[in-house]
């Protein structure tokens, strides 16, 4: 017997809306009411009130009936039969929508939970993954798998839990040299959210190139805007034909991938990077143990909510290599200067000039805003701290040169016990 489609009702739904949806349960759909925000992995569709992170926002009884008839029931039928949802084949380039990354996170969560160890990583790619970029209303997700045999061996129940349907047949990803590499594809059964899932084996170069291309566009507004302008032109030339449109993009994408793979890509951090930033910080603490600085090594990474504030304020940048976040920098304005709140490189990627790339990026950002200098606080004698920053053009400030804001930061550090080893303030004029 086919399992039901699960509709999870969030805690903010109006009581009469929740009651109406519960009364419609049946016909292959199970309705579950939650007292806390719904984990997308526990429901095919999350329904909640406006302002919530949900697949569907429903604010009235009438809207509940429309949702049920136009989305929930067709979704359940498609999923039970293994059918993809109907989709237009006409290309329409739309303005960027904040709903795109939110939808990608929910679908990605379902994929990761349902596929388990088969999904080694799940990434949001394509135009909808680039903040501020116009694109088709189609969420693309990349899943790296051990090999395609592992995908082919998946139980149908696992695919049912994702809310997606695997597409039979042979599919190939194309690398920047126009070579084909086998992949698998799954698509949406949900008529309310078009999704393409590309499953690539870990030894395929295609997934690395997809991530490099995404990070290139995230890093450069110039490249992003150029790509958007070209996409609109290609869409017009293709007269709405998706296949013609896709072929027209290939040369430009291949060139952009080649440039992205030439060196480290510095780009603004996005909310999905926050977990990686905390992992980098934890890993970067370990080398301090070799100097007997266990207190520093054991210092907790910044809380996720603090990192998210930096990201949302546009004051966090990362370096990505093969799509992995391997270094990051946070800044804040202190006494009218761009202060390096944190710059950290994962130890596995040390000695590749990634920290320098981030600092130079910040210097350009600060100059464009008319800021006179960069500042930071750091350890004087740790080789990868004080001496390293001196090599980047920073100099130590004497006590009477330390400004009020920097002095306040130093006092906070002392309260955390970080002054057990010589520490000071540095400045680099711009």
* Average pLDDT of every residue of the chain: 90
Q: Confidence band (pLDDT; 50, 70, 90) for 92?
A: confident
Cβ–Cβ under 8 Å, residues 165 and 78 = yes
**379, 380, 381, 387 alpha-carbon torsion, rounded to 10°:** 100
Angle (CA) 394 400 406, round 5°: 60
Question: How is residue 246 annotated by DSSP?
Answer: H
Q: Which of 81, 108, 132 is the last residue of a domain?
A: 81
Domain annotation covers residue 230? yes
Q: Do 366 and 338 share a structural domain?
A: yes
Last residue of some domain: 231, 262, 293?
Answer: 262
Identify the domain containing residue 309 by its residue range. Answer: 266-429
Are 184 and 45 found together in one domain? no
Element (H, E) at 337: strand 337-345
Residues 72 and 107 in one domain: no
CATH of the domain at 277: 3.40.630.30
pLDDT at 253 over 80: no
Name the token pair of 200.
């690539």
Is the domain of 203 the same as that of 297?
Answer: no
**pLDDT attached to residue 135:** 87
| 227's tokens | 């790509």
Same domain, 313 and 293: yes
Q: What angle do CA 253, 254, 256 make, to 5 degrees?
A: 65
Last residue of a domain, one of 246, 262, 278: 262
Q: Does residue 88 lie in a domain region?
A: no
Q: Which tens digit of pLDDT belongs to each residue from 336-383?
A: 999 999 999 999 998 888 999 899 999 989 988 999 999 999 999 999
Give yes or no: residues 275 and 386 share one domain: yes
In a domain, 89, yes or no: no
Burial tier of 233 (Cβ tally within 10 Å: 0-12, 13-18, 19+)? exposed
The total number of structural domains that make up the chain = 3
Q: Does residue 90 form part of some domain? A: no
CA dihedral 97, 98, 101, 102 (to 10 degrees): -130
Q: Are 321 and 419 within one domain?
A: yes
198 contacts: CB under 8 Å, gap ≥ 6 = 125, 140, 141, 142, 143, 173, 183, 185, 207, 210
Q: What is the structure's pLDDT at 240? A: 61
pLDDT for 248 beyond 80: no
- Paired residues of 94 in beta bridges: 135
Query: Could you tell me the CATH number of the domain that includes residue 121?
Result: 3.30.460.10
Residue 86 located in a structural domain = no
Q: Are residues 294 and 228 in the same domain?
A: no
Do residues 107 and 163 lie in contact, with contact meaning Cβ atoms separated by under 8 Å? Answer: yes
The answer to whether residues 31 and 147 belong to one domain is: no
Query: Is pLDDT of 279 > 90?
Result: yes
Show the tokens assigned to 21.
Answer: 């949806």
Q: Which residue matches tokens 């579950």?
A: 32
């Amino acid at each position: 017997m086919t399992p039901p489609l699960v509709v999870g009702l969030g805690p903010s739904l109006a009581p009469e809306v929740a009651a109406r949806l519960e009364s419609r349960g049946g016909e292959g759909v199970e309705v579950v009411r939650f007292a806390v925000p719904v984990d997308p992995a526990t429901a095919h569709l999350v329904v909640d009130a406006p302002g919530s992170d949900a697949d569907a926002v429903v604010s009235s009884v009438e809207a509940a009936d429309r949702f049920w008839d136009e989305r929930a029931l067709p979704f359940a039928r498609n999923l039970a039969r293994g059918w993809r949802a109907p989709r237009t084949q006409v290309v329409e380039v739309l303005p960027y929508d904040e709903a795109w990354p939110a939808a990608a996170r929910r679908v990605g969560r379902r994929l990761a939970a349902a596929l388990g160890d088969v999904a080694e990583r799940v990434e949001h790619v394509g135009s909808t993954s680039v903040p501020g970029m116009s694109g088709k209303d189609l969420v693309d997700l990349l899943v790296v798998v051990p090999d395609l045999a592992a995908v082919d061996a998946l139980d149908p129940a696992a695919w049912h839990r994702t809310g997606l349907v695997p597409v039979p047949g042979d599919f190939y990803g194309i690398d920047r040299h126009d070579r084909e590499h086998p992949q698998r594809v799954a698509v949406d059964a949900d008529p309310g959210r078009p999704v393409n899932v590309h499953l690539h084996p870990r030894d395929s170069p295609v997934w690395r190139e997809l991530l490099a291309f995404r990070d290139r566009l995230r890093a450069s507004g110039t490249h992003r805007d150029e790509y958007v302008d070209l996409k609109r032109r290609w869409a017009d030339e293709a007269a709405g034909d998706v296949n013609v449109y896709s072929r027209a993009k290939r040369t430009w994408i291949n060139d952009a991938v080649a440039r992205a793979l030439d060196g480290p890509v510095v780009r603004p951090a996005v909310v999905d990077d926050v977990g990686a930033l905390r992992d980098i910080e934890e890993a970067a603490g370990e080398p301090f143990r070799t100097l007997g600085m266990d207190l520093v090594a054991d210092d907790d990474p910044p809380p996720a909510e603090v990192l998210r504030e930096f990201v949302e304020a546009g004051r966090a940048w990362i370096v990505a290599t093969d799509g992995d976040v391997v270094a990051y920098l946070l800044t804040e304005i202190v006494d009218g200067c761009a202060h390096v709140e944190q710059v950290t490189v994962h130890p596995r990627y040390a000695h590749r000039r990634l920290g320098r790339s981030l600092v130079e990026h910040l210097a350009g950002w600060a100059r464009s805003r008319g800021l006179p200098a960069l500042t930071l606080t750091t350890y004087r004698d740790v080789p990868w701290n004080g001496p390293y920053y001196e090599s980047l053009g920073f100099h130590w400030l004497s006590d009477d040169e330390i400004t009020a804001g920097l002095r306040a930061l130093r006092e906070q550090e002392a309260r955390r016990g970080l002054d057990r080893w010589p520490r000071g303030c540095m400045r680099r004029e711009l």
